[in-house]
Amino acid sequence: MDGQYGDSTRSVKSVASEAVPGQAVAPSPVPASTFHLSSDPSDVPDSYGRSSNPTWRHLESALAQLEGAPSALAFGSGMAAITSVLRVLAKPGHKLVVPADGYYQVRRYASEYLAEQGVMVVQAATEEMCAASADADVVLAESPANPGLDVVDLHRLALQCRSRGATLVVDNTTATPFGQQPLSLGADVVVASATKALSGHSDLLAGYVASAHTDLMAEVERERLHSGAILGAFEAWLLMRSLGTAGLRFERQCHNAAALAVALHAHPAVRAVRYPGLPDDPSHRIACAQMKRFGGLIAVELADAEAVHSLVERSVLLIASTSFGGIHTSVDRRARWGDDVSDGFARISLGIEDTDDLIADIEQALG
Ligand SMILES: Cc1ncc(COP(=O)(O)O)c(C=O)c1O
């Protein structure tokens, strides 16, 4: 039913509160650690703040709607969501495939913690994900991968995983549910950081898990209860407040990214540009088949680290910061974090500034 609506309508609808006369249209946060109990435990939905909270429920219903899932679970960060799912799924003796070119902390967690527990961790580049996953038990794919923006054929990977009894987990952080819905492509589980474009204002950390597998979701919920990796009620409320405009913001961010990718593609100071929406990008064909929008990130290669610094210094609108998805256009030189990229490689996260202003500013800053 939601498929008939555009992104902004989906955003607004996802956070709409029940139309109860006299009640606030915009819900307030419920910052409770404990709740009044009744003698009948089934009478009260909430008892203690680490197990459940009414503000989470509203947020989780919104996230589930956006991902096209029956349910979602909110976490204190994207990493909390991802590591909880991996702890539940990847058992000693299992083979777990993680992206070699994806978010580096996930790779580290797998090789520094899960491998110690007896999980066989294999790192595979996104473009080799299908081949590397042939005999895996659990596959974590990230598409487009951060920061190189390679895209993996999620439908093909899902079919392969299903035929061999493996579980496919897709990190949907860079695409967002407005860019693609991995569950509809056959993935078993979506994990994501909502710290990025979904919250979009660079003022909170949050993550979530969405899936139609009820047993698995129950295990992940238990893992959240035990590990305590929960989202504060205020952050849950703030994220929900932001979700109402997420479709609108993401539309502008994708528009800005596409325009900047085209402008920089032809610029003599730029050695290479990656954006799945560029017709000659190596990922374009698969991206067209599975993505509705190509995302708000582009990857560029300048001459060296100094060229990236001077781009930011000479620009009026760009800020240097890590993370992405915020309303400000930001630049992150990824070699500083140890990603396997050249010194002049920068990930640009497009904000919601006016497209012409941004392009003019960046072109003058590149000289
Ligand atoms: C693709 C991807 N997944 C997960 C994360 C982790 O999210 P968080 O910082 O909210 O823990 C990040 C963070 O940058 C990311 O880029």
Q: Is the pLDDT of residue 55 over 60?
A: yes
- Summarised one tens digit per residue, pLDDT across range 157-199 is 999 999 999 999 999 999 999 999 999 999 999 999 999 999 9
- Taking the centre of ligand 1 as the mean of its atom positions, its distance from the CA of residue 123, in whole angstroms, is 18
CA distance 118 to 95: 9
Neighbours of 144 (CB within 10 A): 29
Decide whether any atom of ligand 1 lies within 6 Å of the 173 Cβ: yes
Residue 111: DSSP 8-state: I
Q: Which residues contact residue 274 at a Cβ distance below 8 angstroms, ignoring those fewer than 6 apart?
A: 148, 149, 150, 281, 283, 298, 299, 300
Q: Return the H-helix or E-strand segment holding 288.
A: helix 284-290
- Taking the centre of ligand 1 as the mean of its atom positions, its distance from the CA of residue 205, in whole angstroms, is 9
- Taking the centre of ligand 1 as the mean of its atom positions, its distance from the CA of residue 78, in whole angstroms, is 5
Provide the pLDDT for residue 2. Answer: 60
Decide whether any atom of ligand 1 lies within 6 Å of the 229 Cβ: no
Provide the pLDDT for residue 367. Answer: 87
Catalytic: 91?
no
Indicate which atom in ligand 1 lies nearest the CA of residue 195: 10
* Residues forming beta bridges with residue 73, ordered by sequence position: 209
Structure tokens given for 160:
């392969």
Indicate which atom in ligand 1 lies nearest the CA of residue 173: 1
Provide the pLDDT for residue 53. Answer: 96
- Contact predicate 155/164, CB 8 Å: no
Q: Is the pLDDT of residue 236 over 60?
A: yes
- Taking the centre of ligand 1 as the mean of its atom positions, its distance from the CA of residue 42, in whole angstroms, is 36
Indicate which atom in ligand 1 lies nearest the CA of residue 142: 1
Decide whether any atom of ligand 1 lies within 6 Å of the 339 Cβ: no
Best residue among 83, 103, 337 to mutate for probing ligand 1's pocket (most ligand atoms within 8 Å of CB) is: 103
pTM here is 0.98
Q: At 329, which amino acid appears?
A: T
Q: Is the pLDDT of residue 3 over 70?
A: no
* Residues forming beta bridges with residue 142, ordered by sequence position: 171
- Summarised one tens digit per residue, pLDDT across range 266-282 is 999 999 999 999 999 99
